[in-house]
Structure 1
Amino acid sequence: MSVKYSVVMRKNPAKMSLPGKYYAHAQAYGEVDFDSLCEDVNGRCTVTKADVSAVLESVLESMKQGLSKGQIIRLGNFGSFQVGLSSNGAEKEEEYNSSMIRGAKIAFRPGKLLTNMQKTLIYSQVAKLPVKTKASTAPVTGA
């Protein structure tokens, strides 16, 4: 298997007057939902699909609790999760308050398992996917 990509032109937002350059853009090829993931794990070990589902749901709940406390969640070779913030700035430290925080995001840092996988990826170019326009639901070929 390979990671599918198409080639797209992008402009530099800081230098819009310059011509764009062409870059690879990863194309998703299907998806694996929670149920399918549980079935796959069940097929690789002696644990039932229901047990896999229960454990994963419990891990997610524990992650939610830890992240909401500001803890870093480390899942061994898989990677780690941590809350990051985006906020408005203040001229002076004493002027800053929590109302200036615009939102939070969850940052994922892959561990050895996934970083090693990234080193062995194979790539294959595919056609660009159609782009949907805002005015209609009919897809239009994107550039």
Structure 2
Amino acid sequence: MALEYVVTKRVFGFDKDKNEKYVAKSVRSGKVNFAKMCRKVSQLCGVHRKVVDLVVSGLVDKMAEDIDDGKSVQLGEFGIFSPTIRAKSADEEK
């Protein structure tokens, strides 16, 4: 199944002329929770679901530790997870 998307018009804040641009936006087709994902991996690999749960939970915990320390974590072709800061802009430094 291919990834579904829609094309929408947007105005980006960094565009000085405030021109409308067209961008593709993915459309979600549902949600898979942690327990269901562990069951699917368990069936695929032939390992008990609790083992998958423990390994994935351990992976997430250790990744969080490294990311909190300012490191990036690469998981093969799945991607690189890096620390980011999400903040609102302000008129003053404080």
Normalization by structure 1: what TM-score? Answer: 0.51
Q: Which has the higher strand share?
A: 1
Q: Which has the higher helix share?
A: 2
Q: What corresponds to 2:58 in structure 1?
A: 58
How many pairs were matched up?
88
Larger Rg belongs to: 1
Give me the CA root mean square deviation.
2.6
**Matched position secondary structure for 2:84:** strand
Once the 2 structures are TM-superposed, how far is the Cα of residue 84 of structure 1 from its aligned partner? Answer: 3.4
Amino acid at match of 1:72: S
Q: Tell me, which stretches of 5 or more residues in structure 1 are unaligned?
A: 89-99, 103-143
Amino acid at match of 1:9: K
**Matched position secondary structure for 1:25:** strand
Change (3 A) 1:6 1:56: same
RCO higher in structure (CA 8 A, sep ≥6):
1
Q: What corresponds to 1:84 in structure 2?
A: 84
Identity across matched positions, percent: 26
Once the 2 structures are TM-superposed, how far is the Cα of residue 68 of structure 1 from its aligned partner? Answer: 1.7
Q: What corresponds to 1:69 in structure 2?
A: 69
Normalization by structure 2: what TM-score? Answer: 0.73
